[in-house]
Amino acid sequence: MKSIAVKISLQNESKLEIPLSYETFGLPLGSAPIILVNHALTGNSRVTGEHGWWNHLIDEGKTIDTKNYTILAFNIPGNGYDHTLIEHYERFNIKTISDAFMQGLNALGIKAVDTIIGSSLGGAIAWQMCYDAPQRFKQFIAIATDYKTSNWVRAQSYLQDKILNNSSNPIQDARVHGMLLYRTPASLNSKFKETWDEEKKRYLITDWLDYHGNALEKRFQLKAYKLMNHLLSTITVCNDIKALSKIESDIHIIAVNTDLFFTAQRNLNTYQELKPIKPNTYYHEIKSIHGHDAFLIEYEQLNNILNPLFNHYAPFKK
């Protein structure tokens, strides 16, 4: 993992210099088309390889083939993966992160990006980047995300913030609440079927929720969680959807039909409003009982959607 010093503008109009860490995978920078991957709320720059969170999608011979591409992933400053934490998270917003990532691209000498792909929070940052640099990205893939925070997401972010700032077990409790947003009633009912654990004297669903809370606490820090959650409430790429038409990228919106967080209907509305004024906008939908987290579960469907978007390249020759 390497890092670049970037200087960003905060919401209180002050400037802050922070390290922007990143990782690359596949072919060397400058030798192949670049795929920029923006991670989600609890993700990081390790998108493939050992402990990679998107190995099903990114690897040699996979949909995003490391033999054909350079894969680049930045860490959202303050996510803690590079041991950098943010003290005043309320001064940051999606635009702040977009600006940091843009400076990172500039520092690496990257003028054009073949594909920018992001899911959930990472997808929202990608929306902002495409809006800020409408000619820089050839293809934009937005997975289970939105260009503007809905009142529903804002309300959930507000509740998460209260938990993170007031609970005696903030990371665990916030994660338990989060898991109920990232899955669906059908998903949990199907998985556990009201199973009682006689030894633990509890239902398996509660054991599973506590497992996820404990697991996140071991790898995520409170300051990082506060920042990432806060960023969800700041997604406002633009107020008038017509302004998105200036983005020159092919835009592929991928929704999950049962997503309770960034809902499919809202994504479909975005597509239907944008398509008439931006013809190179496309809509795809993952069918799943698992809700928001389906983009991390339904790999076969996701690969089927993405394969045509990445298999049009022969191996790059300089």
Q: Could you read off the pLDDT of 203-234 as tens digits, one per residue?
A: 999 999 999 999 999 999 999 999 999 999 99
Cα dihedral 248/249/255/261 (nearest 10): -70
Cα dihedral 177/45/76/30 (nearest 10): -150
pTM, rounded to two decimals: 0.95
pLDDT of res. 317: 39
Neighbours of 85 (CB within 10 A): 16
pLDDT of res. 318: 34
Comparing CA positions, the residue from 228, 11, 2, 191 lying closest to residue 99 is 11
pLDDT of res. 5: 94
Per-residue model confidence as pLDDT tens digits over 33-63: 999 999 999 999 999 999 999 999 999 999 9
- Residue 79 dihedral angles phi and psi, to the nearest 5°: -75, -10
pLDDT of 315 higher than 60: no
- Residue 266 dihedral angles phi and psi, to the nearest 5°: -65, -40
User: Hey, what amino acid is at 296?
Assistant: L
Domains of the chain by start residue, with CATH: 2-149+237-310 (3.40.50.1820), 151-231 (1.10.1740.110)
Alpha carbons 228 and 67: distance in angstroms, whole number: 32
Per-residue model confidence as pLDDT tens digits over 231-263: 999 999 999 999 999 999 999 999 999 999 999
pLDDT of 300 higher than 70: yes
Looking at every residue in the chain, the average pLDDT score rounds to 94
Bridge partners of residue 97, in order along the sequence: none
Helix (H, G, I), strand (E, B) or coil at 139: strand
Comparing CA positions, the residue from 311, 312, 303 lying closest to residue 143 is 303
Helix (H, G, I), strand (E, B) or coil at 291: helix
